[in-house]
Structure 1
Amino acid sequence: MKKLKALIVMCLATAMLVGCGSGSAGSDTYVFTSELDIKNLDSCDADDGMSFNAMHACIDGLMGLDEEGNITGAIAESYDLSDDQKTYTFHLREDANWANGTPVTADDFVYAWQRILKNNGNYAYMLGSDGAAIVGVDEILTKMADKKELTDADFANMGVKAVDDKTLEVTITRPISYFDELMTFPCYYPINQEFCEEKGDQYAKTAENVLSNGAYVMKTWEPGKQATFEKNDKYWNADAVKTQKLVMNIIPDLQTAATSFENGETDFAPINSQLVDKYKNEDYYVSFNEGYLFYLEINEKNTDLANNKIKQALSLAIDREDFVTNVLKDGSKAAKGFVPRELSVSPTGTDFRDDAGDYDVTSYNLEKAQQLFAEGLKELGKTSINVRLTYGTDESPMDQMAEYLQNAFSKLDGLNIEMVATTKQDRIYTKMANGDFDIACTRWGPDYGDPTTYLNLLLDGNSNNYGKYYSEEYEAVMEKVSTEEDAATRWQYMIDAEKIAMTDLPNIPVFEKGTSALENQNVKGLVHRPVGVPYTFHYVEKAE
């Protein structure tokens, strides 16, 4: 499948502007601001964009990105692909070392990939047929699901092995056209076994417990506030790294972040819709596709919400165009399906959204919504239902989405909404993980440029299927997706799968997130991709 070109967020130096964010830190320091915190830098556990940014700053995988955002070799200097396109032989760079001077070896990848399975990591499934389709992994995942003990023989049969220190062989069950792109994702990063086991359960939880093999070395990390990185002189591509210091500031309040930018204290600051009108005409204002799909996850264990007419009514009651145009105003777009636009293209070069089409259930039709809701209530034998709407207040613009939905749903006679405001961490890892929700406002950023990065979320047993959706029909079609080798046929299967999902509506898509930000015009080289790791800092350069 053709890879989408990355959006390159860069502004060439022109004249110094008031509020351009040149900062007192000087030309050798780049200051990046985020409203979301870093969870940790453990590829076995981290599953959020900010953690991925931090990991990518100091850890290289087999493949990486060049200055234009294209996939290129990183720790792997090159690779050979067998005629049947099922065996990759990666040749690792001789000059690739960890920051402690230890060479990066093929065993570092073998250890990391086995570790994420042994620990049942958040992205363990990505090593199986839902991701890289590595030989033997599905069998391991099945044993894990059945709570059977894994043995050395299970891992001996896994299709990843160190031929020698600098040669890694990976065998997969089917050809995957985007396999090289997968290898840029953090769950495939290497881990130095000796360092990891020495640190134990504190591995990657603090700055001193992170071992770098990438562009920067993490020096300090104060959760919720700031992380700092310094250039790694032992990095194999150190000549390409122009900035000596990278600072990530966590500022949940975006007005405060904007003020910090105007004061010259930061070089990149995201802003929300309340600030767009203030800054949209400034030269340092930028807007681009962020890649996230924001949607409602339905708890299928709630018998009221399991009613399809109730779910259709909820979807039709949302005026998505009004929300993105008049509330967000940041370049976001109304969602027309569960797979967003600009994610992937077909073998013939067309966008998935164009081929799959727009679903009527994503249009706004309050009259039809009320009709379907009334019919749903009648089927349930009720005159009204009570529903909790759970959202995180620290994951902008989730609060705006929740407030808008509360108003939209309040127009449905017979629906009583209780708002449950919490934090992102509590929303996901406590309430959603334990099934303690009715409807949750959530989001997903694509891990790689293929529709399955979204479609896999609805599979039985997927760790992100918090709503416990299950459909035999959906499972059967997705099984075909996972085994079909003909690209055109596979593409149609994915269209069929999304149609089932948009009919059943276990997840109700709301909008595709755009980002508005303030960016120092004296900075160039920040690479942004709406797929995988959001930002690459390796090539950032700041004018004097």
Structure 2
Amino acid sequence: MKKSLRKVVVSFVTALTLGSVAAPMLASAQTEVVGDLVPEYKTTYLTDPTTLDYTFSMRDINTNHGTNFIESLYENDRYGNYIPAAAESHEVSEDGLVYTYKIRPGVMWVDNNGNEVAETTAHDFVTGLKHAVDVQSEMLPIVQYSIKGLNDYINGKITDFAEVGVKAVDDYTLEYTLERPEPYFNSKTTYGILYPINQEFLDSVGDDFGSLDPASILYNGPFVLANLTAKSQIEYVKNESYWDLENVFIDSVQYTYNDNSDPEVFYRLYKDGAVSAFGVNPTLPIYEDVQKELGEYITQAQRPGSSFLLQFNLNRIKHEATGKENDKQHEDTHAAVLNKAFRQAIMFGFDKHTYMTQDFGEEFADTDIRNTLVAPDFAMVNGESFGEAVERHLEEINPELYEGINLEDGQDAFYDTEKAAKLIEQAKSELEGVDFPIQLDLPVLESIPRSVNLAKSMKASIEESLGAENVIINPVLLNQDTYLASTFNATVAAEVDYDITNESGWIPDYLDPSTFLDIYLPTNGTFLVPIGFDPLLKEGQEDPYAEAREASGLFEYAELVNAAAAITDDLDARYDAYAKAQAWLTDAAIALPIRAGGSQLRVTNIVPFSGPYAFAGTGAQRFKFLKVQSEPVSKDQWQAAYDDWSANKLDASSISSNASKEDSDESASESAEGEESAESEESEEMKDEAEKTEDSEADKTEETETAEETAE
């Protein structure tokens, strides 16, 4: 994300030491609070959770909640450091392969009524991972090739889970053995795939574990789910048995369902004290009133690491939500979306600036624009930003198409009607027997005016650039249940019902470029379902979609990703190889990044930078540490808090970088050769990472906007 209003680049290396212990704790002034602290956080939500099984789901609508109920081994502090949580400390072997965690005594499991049930032990983390495998967790690729023997267990090569590299040495000692060193492994511990489950409780509830009943799980985190009523209310209460109660500053969290059909209602809810924050949309008629009354309190969130995409379904199976009239039109669309020139024509014909005015108005329209899946400032590569390295590789792929390309955030790198026109003509010449115009079905949540307006904007720019005689975008208006079933909540390819969607997003899980680029690996990528393919997690598994999967070109992409993953002794070479993979993905135009998804204008009562900060994983979704004040945050308060936070965060970087570099260098020479999945490879620490992530209060306000903010 790029030349935007408030772009501050800092050197940020989180504390992921290969040595032992916790992240360094920094002495810093308390963030200023205006007025009194309020013991509750109130917001609205659009989408009900689909499960409480926190080891299974990777979807934001579920992880937003689970991370508040369950204590992970480590958690993020307000500066992004990884600090002890359920673990008191950890040690890493000299070869970087064995992580040993000391479990904190007194972390109690409670039921949904707050009654203490048992103590959390190392055995619960073993149970949690085994359960995740048993239910075929959506998050398995995060650790499947990392933890020794786990892939073999999933594929049936070993049948005894005791042979997998996770072991409870005793009640308070947990040991993970890795396939090869991963200095960023601690950043994976904040994700649900590595959360604990009490075995006795799991046995007692059986298949009902994680159902949408607050009694279907136990809680050892800062909050307990008190109420979950579909399309009505979600409520947390503070867990009075929580081990670190002094750092939980709110007693309750209240989510109230709102279908977003009235985009101005959030302003009224805020004035009535029904929400703690609301998004400010400059395109609404009410914007003038908001400015007059609350202008000094309108602040802008920082851009996050997440990327939201315009994405093709390369293998559409279901055709119920459609504007087409016959099978021939479906067949022609299928052929077209498998044609690279056609997809590139869409990429160059899509006007992101005009599209983004629907959210930000003309003045702020470019703020959130993103052009690559991996944020261009994610890392430095031989003195270049990651984005600049991708630009270089794009020019190598096609100098005519990409000469002088600028992939920085905050501007549209691709919109070019002349190139779009040439590409659509090329596609037509390559697609023999295909009748034009190609019709692309775009699902739209009909109850949200913003979603409808975004779809109209996309339709207008693409049809104008490419000609309605060549391409027609069909916005298909759907009610919420149908919409969710065919998009976010689709768990297999046969349920995905669209040709193209503007509502897919990805939040990084851990601190390496692979966390972005692995999602499109052709057999086990976690983002395969949205593009029409089921993962093939077991070797030799029959593939009913083999022809389309091969035609997608993703096997060529996998070779680039795996080549990058195999580089474990040279960080610049590793990142440059990942930049080459990103260039391939950009050129393939399977997924077209639109925006970062977090720099919205808002008015908030959340004390700036009081909550946890995390570039990757679910750490920033926790309400622990978060403070809510009685008065709205002014621009001056936000800026002062930001200046203090930035200065201390730089100090944290310096400490972490020095602490980890020796260990990273020492382990690099001992790294094994790479195998066939990027998930199985290790990377070094982030160096010169851009400060583009949102502050904690931005993350808490995303759900008040629309389902578009929900990451797959």
- TM-score, normalised to structure 2, is 0.67
Residue 300 of structure 1 corresponds to: 314
Cα distance in 2 for partners of 1:505, 1:494 equals: 17
Higher helix share: 2
Alignment of 1:95-244 (within 5 A): 95-99=106-110, 100-129=116-145, 133-141=146-154, 143=155, 152-153=159-160, 155-204=161-210, 205-244=212-251
Q: 1:266 to 1:326 in 2, by over 3 A?
A: closer
Give the gaps of 5 or more residues in structure 2: 1-10, 16-29, 111-115, 316-333, 395-401, 406-412, 534-551, 631-712
Picking from 414, 422, 432, the partner of 1:363 is 414
Cα distance in 2 for partners of 1:317, 1:432 equals: 30
Q: 1:317 to 1:478 in 2, by over 3 A?
A: same
Aligned partners of 1:38 and 1:224 also within 8 Å: no
Q: 1:221 to 1:377 in 2, by over 3 A?
A: same
Picking from 489, 497, 503, the partner of 2:587 is 503
Query: Larger deviation: 216-225 or 471-480?
Result: 471-480
Aligned partners of 1:89 and 1:168 also within 8 Å: yes
Is structure 2 residue 300 aligned with structure 1 residue 268?
Answer: no
Q: Secondary structure at the match of 1:80?
A: strand
- Shift of residue 299 of structure 1? 2.6
Give the gaps of 5 or more residues in structure 1: 17-21, 144-148
Cα distance in 2 for partners of 1:385, 1:224 equals: 40
Is structure 2 residue 535 aligned with structure 1 residue 437?
Answer: no
Q: 1:282 to 1:529 in 2, by over 3 A?
A: farther
Identity %: 22
Residue 355 of structure 2 corresponds to: 323
Please tell me the residue identity of whatever aligns with 1:404.
S
Q: 1:12 to 1:225 in 2, by over 3 A?
A: farther
Cα distance in 2 for partners of 1:439, 1:424 equals: 15
Q: Secondary structure at the match of 1:517?
A: strand
Residue 258 of structure 1 corresponds to: 267
Is structure 2 residue 557 aligned with structure 1 residue 474?
Answer: yes
Cα distance in 1 for partners of 2:259, 2:168 equals: 43
Residue 415 of structure 1 corresponds to: 471
Residue 457 of structure 2 corresponds to: 404
Cα distance in 2 for partners of 1:287, 1:258 equals: 16
Aligned partners of 2:606 and 2:629 also within 8 Å: no
Aligned partners of 1:320 and 1:335 also within 8 Å: no
Picking from 47, 54, 68, the partner of 2:58 is 47
Please tell me the residue identity of whatever aligns with 1:333.
D
How many residues in Structure 1 have an aligned counterpart in Structure 2? 520
Is structure 2 residue 521 aligned with structure 1 residue 459?
Answer: yes
- Shift of residue 79 of structure 1? 0.3
Cα distance in 1 for partners of 2:99, 2:491 equals: 41
- Shift of residue 239 of structure 1? 1.6
Cα offsets for 1:22-54 (capped at 9, x unmatched): 9xxxx3222233344333321233222242221
Residue 321 of structure 2 corresponds to: none
Is structure 2 residue 430 aligned with structure 1 residue 379?
Answer: yes
Cα offsets for 1:446-466 (capped at 9, x unmatched): 222322222111101224213
Picking from 311, 317, 320, the partner of 2:343 is 311
Q: 1:68 to 1:522 in 2, by over 3 A?
A: closer
Cα distance in 2 for partners of 1:332, 1:357 equals: 21
Aligned partners of 1:272 and 1:396 also within 8 Å: no
Residue 13 of structure 1 corresponds to: 33
Cα offsets for 1:77-110 (capped at 9, x unmatched): 1000111111100101012121234111111111
Q: 1:495 to 1:223 in 2, by over 3 A?
A: same
Cα distance in 1 for partners of 2:208, 2:355 equals: 43
Residue 678 of structure 2 corresponds to: none
Please tell me the residue identity of whatever aligns with 1:424.
L
Q: 1:526 to 1:248 in 2, by over 3 A?
A: farther
Alignment of 1:495-534 (within 5 A): 495-514=579-598, 515-520=600-605, 525-527=610-612, 529-533=614-618, 534=620
Cα offsets for 1:166-200 (capped at 9, x unmatched): 11101112222321111112222111222233223
- Shift of residue 2 of structure 1? 5.2
Q: 1:430 to 1:169 in 2, by over 3 A?
A: closer
Cα distance in 1 for partners of 2:506, 2:141 equals: 16
Aligned partners of 1:90 and 1:167 also within 8 Å: yes
Residue 546 of structure 2 corresponds to: none
Residue 146 of structure 1 corresponds to: none
Residue 391 of structure 1 corresponds to: 443
Q: Secondary structure at the match of 2:241?
A: coil
Aligned partners of 2:78 and 2:613 also within 8 Å: no
Aligned partners of 1:316 and 1:365 also within 8 Å: yes
Cα distance in 1 for partners of 2:298, 2:46 equals: 17
Query: Larger deviation: 468-477 or 515-524?
Result: 515-524
Picking from 377, 387, 392, the partner of 1:353 is 387
Query: Larger deviation: 387-396 or 74-83?
Result: 387-396
Please tell me the residue identity of whatever aligns with 1:62.
L
Cα distance in 1 for partners of 2:444, 2:55 equals: 24
Query: Larger deviation: 288-297 or 346-355?
Result: 346-355
Query: Larger deviation: 106-115 or 267-276?
Result: 267-276
Cα distance in 2 for partners of 1:398, 1:432 equals: 24
Q: 1:439 to 1:209 in 2, by over 3 A?
A: same
Cα distance in 1 for partners of 2:602, 2:231 equals: 20
Please tell me the residue identity of whatever aligns with 1:440.
T
- Shift of residue 432 of structure 1? 7.1
